């Protein structure tokens, strides 16, 4: 039997993930400015680009969750 869709904490979970992702991006930016290793700098920049895309998706998901909550 399938579990019912329980979305009660989705918004809070997504918000926490957004905060953590932003924090990780800030830490990576600090490391980018401190490191002399071009490979490390490139890897960190690429990772932050992926994080930015993930943030966009999480923000869209938050909006969807808000719509779901408004319908209740």
The string of DSSP codes covering 11-66 is HHHHHHHHHHHHHHHHHHHHHHHH---HHHHHHHHHHHHHHHHHHHHHHHHHHHHH
pLDDT digits (tens, 9 = 90+) for 11-51: 899 999 999 999 999 999 999 999 999 999 999 999 999 99
What six digits make up the tokens of 13?
Answer: 């979970």
* Residue 68: band (very low, low, confident or very high) from pLDDT cuts 50, 70, 90: confident
Asked if 10 and 69 count as a contact pair (C-beta separation under 8 A), the reply is no
């Amino acid at each position: 039997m399938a579990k019912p869709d329980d979305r009660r904490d989705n918004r809070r979970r997504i918000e926490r993930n957004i905060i953590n992702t932003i924090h990780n991006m800030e830490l990576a930016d600090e490391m980018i400015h401190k490191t002399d290793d071009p490979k490390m700098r490139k890897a960190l920049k690429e990772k932050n680009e992926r994080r930015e895309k993930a943030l966009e998706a999480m923000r869209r998901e938050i909006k969807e969750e808000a719509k779901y909550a408004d319908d209740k």
